[in-house]
Amino acid sequence: MFSQLDKDIPAGVVLFLVALPLCLGIALASGAPLISGLISGVIGGLLIGVVSKSGTSVSGPAASVSAVVFLAIQDLGGFDIFLTALVIAGLFQLLFGILRAGLIADYIPTSIIKGLLAAIGIILILSQLKYAVGMELDHSRFSSFSEDYLENTWKMVTLFFQSFTPGSIILTLLSLFTLLFWDKTPLKNFKLFPPALVVVIMGVLLNFLFKYFIPGLYLDSHHLVNIPKVESLSSLITTPDFGVIGHMEIWTTAITIAVIASLSTLLNIEATDNIDPHKRKTPPNRELIAQGIGNTLSGLIGGIAITSVVVRSSVNIESGGQTKLVTILHGILLLLSVLFISSVINLIPLASLSAILLVVGYKLASVSLFRKMYAKGWSQFIPFVITIIAILLTDVLIGVLIGSALSVFFLLRNNYYNPFFIENTKLIQGEAIKLELSNEVSFLNRASIKNTLWNVPDHSKVIIDATFSHYIDLDVVEILRDFENTFAKEHDIDVNIIGLKESYNIGEEIDFVENSIQKEIQKSSPQEILDYLKEGNKNYAKGNLVSRRLRNKELTDFLSSSPLAVVVNCIDLREPLNMLLNTGIGELIPIRAAGNAVSRHIIQSIEIACRNQGARLILLMGNSGNSFVSEAIEAHTTKNPSHLTPLIKDALASETFKNYQENNSPENITDAITRFNLEFSKEKIIRQNTFIREQVITGNIGLASAFYNRKTASVEFSELFSAETIMKK
């Protein structure tokens, strides 16, 4: 902890200067004595800083729980009663940490968390407006107008505007201007003078000027911070009223504070760890224990709720803080400020603090946040908005519960409508409707699956793929069987069910019907297979891939039928052919030939693939940027011997490349030679293998070439090698 003093001490000073006005401001927003904010800041720095194992997180009073504290003080009827609830909340947090509940934040939807923060931002803005304008409302002054509102409306409006304090309005506007434009000026480089501190100092100085030069704008003690004079430590401490501990409202408030403070802390340490340059991981359960201890003590001596605060944590990191000494040091400085400069702190105008909180509130509930949530769709936007409205109309815990319930509704709704992926798949024998079931299919999906299947057009071909499902409810299995055995037969629908596991205990093993597809594939022509591969690559280039996630034991299910094509490609092509051509498992036989230059052995392998395994198409496939061809060209250009020279010797010996190298880039030459090798290899196969030549002439086997462009992800296919071309040669 003391290994980086040269960085940690300056960072601790900067952090103190930022935290001081924030502690006062959060206490003001919470409706609590201002000294309570400083007490919480001291506890967050000293106690939590020691117990926590985070190197960057800084704790203290936070805007995220200020609304909870404000409502709790109002509802419970006193600050000392609130302190009792805070003590209990701290004990709950301690219990959360012991029970290892640190993962609780992972189960709260992001839309709810953002709705919570936005609602807190709105509450902050609304609660600070009266301080920003220096409003002094004496409700008794309005009671005399209650008999005749129409007649006295103008008097009421006049009285309302007379309740504003011009000095507060001026300070607020100047403070807002400073805070909003600070980062757009070179002043942002002065780290020792954060904008919040500048606003506070400016407020104090301007109020002095008002006193001596513009008395009408001067703010008296009613509009200034009021911390009691420190005569002894006991004068600062407010103790909780444990006499009300049996009231249900105390426990409800305690649970609310514990949950919101814990969620806020867990989210903040996650955000802080993300911006930590050393990427350290804060133990979440240890952090909950530290926060529980801190809030318990805060409740015992008159503080307000504490959480990890991402604003202070980010200041710590930006200031170069390396260890938790920074947060401990800032706690020490806060304590010294309470003990020795309370009279100076009492000179700070409330308008300056309210301006800081107005900016914080707007950042939590900005217009851009609403736009981003709206852009994410109704399933995110509606729970977000409802959470905000519910919190504003009720309280934080009820609002979060209402928003969470709505999120669960959308989750169930999406689960209802998305138990499968459906597409029209173009197979060799024609188009088929494919239903690919999700990983888990529950009884909640029963209705949507049935509605989909029972609306399949008559005379259709349907593939139901359960290969990727780890669990399928028996109700859903029964629907699949009813569709296959009854509805499909009555409506002349060709059904093929793939991948349903035996462990579902459906009573009998389902005999998967694959014969109709496989037989038609075997009867397909070479041209149909080539068109199939062309269509597959178009889908790949567009990102419309058919899923091929298979368990090992199920791979053999796809190898019982003949393959469609044998593909000869260079070993430089590392991309999987099944993806490039969007084909099924076992439909292609890959053979590798360096530089796409086929040898007698490779030609013999091609013959075996066609003669013995039934492949109907031979596809020679090259690719752009072939590294072996490029290296061979470089060796030839520099006249260095290379084992790769045989890959380009036929191309260089041809008439095509005699003057080609002079006017083209190395990339173009590489691709041109690759294309040459493809055409040369096609002719070589026809010349050297009688079986393939005869089969190509009769149309039983097709021969074509293809060139894969890595930049566009598309494949350029040639036409089939025609019998007329062979006869001419």
pLDDT digits (tens, 9 = 90+) for 623-660: 999 999 999 888 888 888 889 888 888 888 887 776 66
pLDDT in tens, 177-203: 998 888 888 877 776 677 877 888 899
**Burial 430-461, CB ≥16 within 10 A → b, else e:** eebbbbbbbeebeeebbeebbebbeebeeebb
CA dist., res. 297 & res. 284, Å (int): 20
23 annotated to bind ligand: no
CA dist., res. 51 & res. 306, Å (int): 14
* Predicted confidence (pLDDT) at residue 546 exceeds the cutoff of 60: no
- pLDDT of amino acid 275: 67
pLDDT in tens, 247-265: 999 999 999 999 889 988 8
Mean pLDDT to the nearest integer, 343-356? 85
pLDDT in tens, 28-65: 888 899 899 999 999 999 999 999 998 889 999 987 78
pTM of structure = 0.55
Pairing of strands 702-709, 714-717: antiparallel
Name the helix (H) or strand (E) containing 496. Answer: strand 494-498
Nearest to 20 by CA among 338, 343, 385: 338
Q: Which one has a higher pLDDT value, 40 or 1? A: 40
CA dist., res. 91 & res. 97, Å (int): 10
At 90, is the pLDDT very low, low, confident or very high (cuts 50, 70, 90)? very high
Is the separation of the CB atoms in 52 and 324 below 8 Å? Answer: yes
Is the separation of the CB atoms in 264 and 64 below 8 Å? Answer: yes
pLDDT in tens, 275-292: 678 878 888 999 999 999
Query: Coil, strand, or helix at residue 400?
Result: helix
**Burial 666-686, CB ≥16 within 10 A → b, else e:** eeebbbbbbbbbbebbbebbb
- pLDDT of amino acid 125: 85
pLDDT in tens, 496-532: 888 776 655 443 343 433 444 444 444 478 998 998 8
At 463, is the pLDDT very low, low, confident or very high (cuts 50, 70, 90)? confident
Domains and CATH numbers, the chain: 7-134+156-401 (no CATH), 418-519 (3.30.750.24), 524-728 (3.40.1050.10)
H-state helical runs in 245-366: 248-275, 284-301, 310-318, 325-340, 342-345, 350-364
pLDDT in tens, 388-441: 998 888 766 678 788 888 888 877 666 655 555 565 555 445 577 878 787 777
Q: What DSSP line would sit under 135-190, residue for residue?
A: ----THHHHTTSS-HHHHHHHHHHHHHHTS-HHHHHHHHHHHHHHHHGGGSGGGG-
Count of helices and strands (H, E) across the chain: 30, 13
- pLDDT of amino acid 478: 84
CA dist., res. 303 & res. 308, Å (int): 15
- pLDDT of amino acid 258: 93
In the block, tokens 């990983």 appear at 439
- pLDDT of amino acid 319: 65
CA dist., res. 614 & res. 562, Å (int): 5
Mean pLDDT to the nearest integer, 217-221? 88
395 annotated to bind ligand: no
